[in-house]
Amino acid sequence: MLTCPLCKKTIKTLVRECPTCRTDLSLLADFMTEVDAGLRRAEEQARAGQLGEAMWAYLAVLEVDPENPIARRQVGLVATAVRQFDRSRPRRSSWPHWRLAAAATIVVALALAIGFLAGRATGPATDEPPQLVPKVPGLK
C-alpha cells in the first residue's frame, strides 16, 4: 500500500499517479516494487534453507526501508536464535579465568620465595652487618 505524500490518501494498488490529486508516484511505486522483490527473494532463500543469504536479503531490505515490519521481525528472530545458541553452547576452556589467574599467582609467589631463600642461604656467614662505608685509618 502506498500513501500519497501530497493528499495523504492511502492507495491500495501500485500506481504511478495518485487517483485523487494526480501527483506523480513513480519513484514511490518503484521503491515499493524493489522492497517487495527483496522480501520475496529473502523468503525464497529461507525456504530453500539458505538462511545466511536470506538474512542478507532481509538486511538489504532494511537498508532501503528501515521501518519494514516483515524484515525487522525476521532479522529479530534470527538474532534471538543466534543469541540463544551462543548462551547454550559449552565453554571452550575447561579452566575458568579465575582459576588460571590463581595458578599464575601461586607460581609467581613460589618463585619469589625460592629466590629469597636461595639468596639468604648464600649471604655472609657472620652476624656482623656489612659495612657500607669503608673504614679509613685515623678517622673515627
Q: Give the pLDDT confidence of 33-43 residue by residue, as tens digits.
A: 888 888 899 88
Backbone phi, psi, residue 11, to 5° = -115, 125
Q: Would 50 be classed as within a structural domain?
A: yes
Task: Report residue 118 as a C-alpha cell.
Answer: 636461595
Q: Per the structure, how many domains does the chain have?
A: 1
Q: Is residue 24 part of a domain?
A: yes
pTM given for the model: 0.49
The answer to whether position 118 is within a domain reads no
Residue 125 lies in a domain: no
Per-residue pLDDT, 107: 93
* 75 inside domain: yes
Q: 6: domain range?
A: 2-87
Q: Which residues pair with 10 in a beta bridge?
A: 3
Segment 9-34, tens digit of pLDDT:
777 777 778 888 888 878 787 788 88
> Which of 42, 99, 98 is closest to 74 using CA atoms?
42
55 part of a folded domain: yes
Q: Is residue 138 part of a domain?
A: no
